[in-house]
A and B are shown apart, each in its own frame.
Chain A
Amino acid sequence: MNTELFGIIVVFLGTIVLALPFGKYIAKVYGGEKTLLDPILNPIEKVCYKISGINPAKEMNWKEHMVAMLTINLVWFLLGMLLLMTQQWLPLNPDGNPNMSPDLAFNTTISFVVNCNLQHYSGETGVSYLAQLWLMFLQFVSAGTGLAAAAVLFKAFKAKTTAQLGNFYNFLLKSCTRILLPLSIIVALVLAFNGTPMTFQGKDQVTSLQGDTMQVSRGPAAGFIAIKHLGTNGGGFFGANSAHPFENPNYGTNMLELSAQLIVPLAMIFAFGYFIRRKKLSLMIFGVMTVGFLLLAIPNINMEMNGNPAIAAMGIDNTSGAMEGKEVRFGAAVSGFWSIVTTVISTGSVNAMHDSTMPLSGMNELLAMMVNAFYGGCGVGLLNFFIFIILAVFISGLMVGRTPEFMGKKIEAKEMKIAMIIALLHPFLILAGTALATAFPAQGAATLNNPGFHGFSEILYEYTSSAANNGSGFEGLGDNNLWCNITTGFVLILGRFLPIIGPVAIAGLLAEKQYIPESNGTLKTDTGTFGLMVFAVIVIIAALAFFPALTLGPIAEYFSM
C-alpha cells in the first residue's frame, strides 16, 4: 500500500521540480530569446511563415489576436466536419469504420477544436486511422491556441503601456513546435517501448489460451497518447482511454502520463512570473492552485482506497479499495489521484471509470471542473484564474476603500463587467444544460446507465465536462444522440471561446491604460493574504452556484448509501 502512495508523491513533486526550468524555457520562447532547439526549428518556422504570408514580427492588438484565433479555428472546424463525415471513403481505414453522422461529426469536431475531447464515439469503431491523425493534429493546435492566448496575457503585463501584444500566428506555431512537439516525441517513444502500439495495421485476430476467438484493436496510438496528455486534451485512442492496457501499459507509463498532463499547466504559471519578472505573483497563483488541488485530491485518494461500503457489507476482502472500473496494475490510490489531476486540469483522460468512483469522489471531480482554475488546461487555466484575480482585486479594493488596481492598472467598470459575465457564464452553461436535459425525460432520464441520484450526476457531469472543456465523462450516459451531440456542442463552443476572449480583452484593455507606479496605497497582489482572498472568491462562486446541484446528485447518493 505504501508503494502506491509513494508513487503519487514522487510524480507530483517530481513534476513541480521539472516545471520550474520548463517554465523559464516557455518564457524565453514567448520572449523570442535564444533557446536550445533554434538551429532545427528556426528554419522550419521561417518556411511556414514565408509560404503562409505571415510576418511574425507584425504585432497585433487584442482584437486582432482574437479575430485571427477565431478565423483559424473556423478553418479547422470546417475541415474536421468534412473529414469525419467522409472517413469511410478515405485512405487509412483498415477496419472499415463508417462515416460519422452529421450531429456526431459536429460534436466530435467541436470538441477536439476546443481542446475538450468529449468523445461520443469509441476509438476502435468510430474513427479511421486518418481521422485519428486528424484529431491528433487538433490536439496539437487546440492546445497551442490556449497557450497563444495566455501568451497575449503575458505580453499585456510586461510593458507599462502598450497596445502591441505580439503576433498570434507566431505564438500559436511556437507553442506547438517548441513546447508541445519536443516533449510529445519523447513521451511517445517511451510509450512505444513500453508496449503501446504505433502501427498502421488494422485489427488482429487471435485465439485465447482457453480457445476463444478475440480481436485486438491496434493503431498509431503512441503518438496520439503523448499529445493527448501534454496538450491537456484527454481524448482516448481507444474507448477505455488510459485505462486501456495499450494506452497505458504499466505503472511507469501511468506515472509518465500523469506527469505529462501536469507539466505544461504548471510550467505556464512559472513562465508567467519569469516573463513579467514577478516571481512572487507566480508563487501566489501556484500556492492557491495547489491548495485547491490537494483539498480535492487527498480525499479522493482516501475514498477510493477505502472502497465501496456496499461491497464491504457483503463480507468479502475489500482491502484493494474501490476496484470497479479500475485496473489492478495501477490500484485504487493512484486512480483516485488521477481522477482529480485530469479534472482540475482540463485533460479529461481517465485511467479508471469515473462513473464507478465513490459518490463524494464524483463530487470532487465535478467541483474540480466547476472551478476549472486549479492549474487548468494548457494556457486557459491561467486565463480562468485571471478572472478570479480580477474579481478578488475588485472586492478587496471595496473592502479597504481603495481604487482597485492590478499591476499598476486601474480596474474599471468595463473590465469588471467582462469579468462578471465570464464568471457567471460557466455556472449558467452547466446548470441550464443540466436543467434542460433533466426536464425532458426522453433526452435525459432515458439515456442513463444508473438509476436515482447517480443518474442525475451523470447528466450534471456531462454538461460540466463540456463547459469546462474537460472531456471526461460519467460514461454510462448514452450520449451519442442528436440532443446531446448538439446541446453539448454549443456548450463547448461558448465554454471555450468566451472564457478566452474575456480575459484577453481585460488584459488588452488594461495594457492600454496608463501605468500608475506602486505606492503605499497600492493593494499588494503577490502576498499570502491576497491569495487567501482569491481562494475565498473561488469557493464562494463555486459553492454558491453549484451547491444545490451537487446536493441533488453526489451528496444525496452519499447519504442514501
Chain B
Amino acid sequence: MKNHILPAVKLTVLAILLFAVIYPLVVWSMALFAPNNGNGEIIVHKGRKYYSNIGQSFTEDKYFWSRPSAVAYNAAGSGGSNKGPSNAEYLKEVQARIDTFQVHNPAISKAEIPVDLVTASGSGLDPHISVAAAKVQVKRISAVRNIDVAGLERLIADHTEKPLAGLFGPEKINVLKLNIALDKMSEK
C-alpha cells in the first residue's frame, strides 16, 4: 500500500484538474453561446424577467392555474410531496383540492377534472399543465375576464406544445406563457 500512496495522491490532483476544472470550464465557455448565456432560458414581459422553464404559482381566478406544489413554487429549493399512494391524509388533501376546484369552477363536473391539476409534481416547479387541464378552466376565465370561450380555446390551441418532432412524448402547455398571452389578449 505504501508505494501506492504517492502515485494515488498525484494522480488525484491531476484528475481534479482534468475533470473538475478543465471539463467544466470547457462546457461553461461553450454554454456562453446557449440561450441567455447558460443562465437558464428567460422571457421578458413588461420589463420583468421570468424563467420560462421554472413554473410559477397561479392561484387567482383570472389566470390559468398551475399544478399544486410541495415547495410552493419557490425555486430556491425543489421537491415533491413524497406521499405514498395509499396515504389516507394525502388522499384527503387531493379530495380537498378537488372540492376547491369545484367551488371556483361550478360549471365543471367532477369527471372533467384532470388528475394533474390536483396532484403535486415531482420538482414542485412543473411549468406545464396538460391540455385538458387548461380547457377545464376556460369557462371560469371567460366569466372573470369577459372574453368569449372560443377565443380562449384558440389561445389554448396556439399554446399547445406538440410532442417532440410530432412523435415522442405528451402534449402540454406552458402555464406562464399561456397566462402572459392571456394578459395581452385582455389588454386588446
Contacts and interface: CB of A to CB of B under 8 A. Distances in A.
Interface of A: 3-4, 6-7, 10, 44, 47-48, 51-54, 67-68, 70-72, 74-76, 79, 122, 124-125, 133-134, 136-137, 140-141, 169, 172-173, 176-177, 181, 184-185, 188-189, 192-193, 195-201, 203-204, 206-210, 212, 214-218, 220, 222-223, 226-227, 238-240, 243-246, 249-252, 254-255, 307-308, 310-311, 314-331, 334, 350-353, 355-359, 449-455, 457, 474-476, 557, 560-561
Given A137-B19, A328-B67, A199 B85 contact: no
Contacts of A141: 12, 15, 19
25 contacts: A44-B18, A47-B14, A48-B15, A53-B10, A67-B1, A71-B4, A124-B78, A185-B23, A185-B26, A199-B38, A204-B51, A208-B57, A212-B73, A217-B78, A240-B78, A246-B54, A251-B164, A252-B168, A317-B113, A320-B116, A328-B121, A334-B169, A353-B79, A454-B85, A476-B82
B53 A6 contact: no
B170 to A, nearest CB: 4
Interface residues on B, range: 35 or more
Contact of A6 (B57, B111, B168): B168
A137 B168 contact: no
Contacts of B41: 195, 249
Contacts, number: 382
B144 interface: no
A407 B76 CA distance: 55
B50 A197 contact: no
A325 B80 contact: yes
B167 interface: yes
Given A193-B35, A324-B85, A216 B128 contact: no
A75 B126 contact: no
A251 B132 CA distance: 19
Contacts of A310: 85-86, 91
Contacts of A136: 19-20, 24
A371 B69 CA distance: 34
Contact of B76 (A7, A216, A356): A216
Interface string B36-68: 011111000100111111111111100100010
B167 A125 contact: no
A325 B119 CA distance: 8
B39 A197 contact: yes
Contact of A243 (B12, B53, B57, B121): B121
Given A3-B170, A52-B11, A133-B24, A222 B81 contact: no
Most A C-beta atoms less than 10 A away, residue of B54, B91, B119, B170: B170
B40 to A, nearest CB: 5
Nearest to B41: A195
B184 to A, nearest CB: 12
B76 A72 contact: no
B4 A450 contact: no
B40 A197 contact: yes
A203 B76 contact: yes
B8 A75 contact: yes
Which 4 residue pairs of A and B lie closest in terms of their CB atoms, listed nearest first? A243-B122, A251-B169, A476-B82, A7-B168
Contacts of A192: 27, 30-31, 34, 38
Given A325-B81, A350-B122, A355-B82, 7 more contacts: A3-B168, A4-B169, A249-B53, A255-B164, A328-B128, A356-B85, A457-B84
B15 A450 contact: no
A125 B119 contact: no
A327 B118 contact: no
A117 to B, nearest CB: 16
Contacts of B94: 311, 314
A317 B83 contact: no
A184 B59 contact: no
A80 B19 CA distance: 15
Most B C-beta atoms less than 10 A away, residue of A68, A173, A356: A356
Given A214-B75, A474-B82, A209 B176 contact: yes
A320 B115 contact: yes
B105 to A, nearest CB: 12
A140 B19 contact: yes
Most B C-beta atoms less than 10 A away, residue of A196, A209, A222, A451: A209
